[in-house]
Chains A and B, each alone.
Chain A
């Protein structure tokens, strides 16, 4: 049972080590239904030794901004000499964090992202885009350029860049097609020092792709699928909310490009999370690891994790 220091206050306690999507979910479960009506205050503790993976960072960013949009009080507490604080500042986390979120010991005075933008090969600043405004034409090329900067020593850097263009393109379009919110969406990526691993992540704060697709599929062949199986088929078959429009590839195209690099695919929806591992050159239901009945997190959060060798 979740314990609260104060009635109406809950605490999201992150670990003092690397926090990946699975550890983030465990922390959310311990915290309880933070975005539900039970709590008016959410405290997020990021201890000194805590390091956050890029997909977790933009999920946390969306989570904080959703909580503020639900009129909750949010306090982000960093441990002493926190390395996460410096890193989050460097990639522009605080530039996009709702001003109402309290930060202790204090918000950085200067944005590290604004000062150093594009200066480090290994990381990229968080890109914000709004589903209710026309997509900025440079958004996808900027993300692709960041990947190719990070992998510049590799001989297949051009192929990686080409694939990323299609992957980010489809993920960004998916937000416009399915999120139905005026809260901002975020895209980010992290390349690792040797350039042999890249994680790309896109998060929105909308109604979730299943909620968006289900009504359009009623009565059809996909109607009886479980949520997990439907998520797999969205990436395998490219299920569209407009089945008559045969030109829409949906997310199938992004998955097929990612499969070429044996990428793991992590999808977080309102109350579920599905981790897909490639098998026989595709994502299959029997290789899906799923979690149900998770605490509410609005939106569709997709991350591809590439192993480049």
Chain B
């Protein structure tokens, strides 16, 4: 934030967003960026929308961006409110705890998301087995969660020798 500890309104956020975007563009595809909120004392909803949530949404499906050191309740609430309105999920890590604020998953995808957040990587077939649903059904759920920005997706080798998608929480 160019040395500032508080951010108010969209005008102040635009240069910060531009700086963050240019940094993220230098990272290879499917990499993860952990954005620290340490030292940020104040941030209103308009600033959070432009400088944080919009940027996370812009890279969904291509790069995983999560927030860390978000202990300030008021800033967390502002990010949560604008991200929900903008339809963008935001992954937040508090130490070893992970949660997603902003966009809520659909009721049908909630269990799949909780399962994925609780572990480093998920195979569709494993979740299908645990949840007692078909692999096709599980695959649809994870694909939706990836498209919406809740999870990352990487290509792995299936037991059959073909390509299998693996899903990872962000961060």
Interface residues of A (CB under 8 A from B): 137, 140-141, 159, 162-163, 165-166, 169-170, 173, 238, 246-249, 252-253, 256-257, 260
Contacts and interface: CB of A to CB of B under 8 A. Distances in A.
A162 B42 contact: yes
Choose among B6, B41, B81, B87 the residue with the greatest number of A CB atoms under 10 Å from its CB.
Answer: B81
A252 B44 contact: no
Interface in B98-145: none
A247 B50 contact: yes
Interface of B: 6, 8-10, 41-42, 44-46, 49-50, 53-54, 72-75, 77-78, 81-82, 85-87
B74 A165 contact: yes
Contact of A162 (B50, B54, B72): B72
Given A169-B8, A169-B44, A159 B54 contact: no
A248 B46 CA distance: 7
B77 A256 contact: yes
A238 B81 CA distance: 10
A246 B87 contact: yes
A258 B150 CA distance: 29
A85 B43 CA distance: 38
A79 B44 CA distance: 44
A169 B41 CA distance: 14
Interface of chain B, helix or strand or loop or mixed?
Answer: helix
A141 B41 CA distance: 12
A249 B10 CA distance: 12
A256 B46 CA distance: 15
B45 A166 contact: yes
Contact of B46 (A141, A163, A165, A249): A249
A162 B44 contact: no
A236 to B, nearest CB: 12
A160 B44 CA distance: 14
23 contacts: A140-B8, A162-B73, A162-B74, A162-B75, A165-B44, A166-B44, A166-B78, A169-B9, A170-B45, A173-B9, A173-B46, A238-B85, A247-B10, A247-B50, A247-B82, A248-B46, A249-B85, A252-B81, A253-B77, A253-B81, A257-B77, A260-B73, A260-B77
A141 B53 CA distance: 24
Contacts of A252: 81
A212 to B, nearest CB: 18
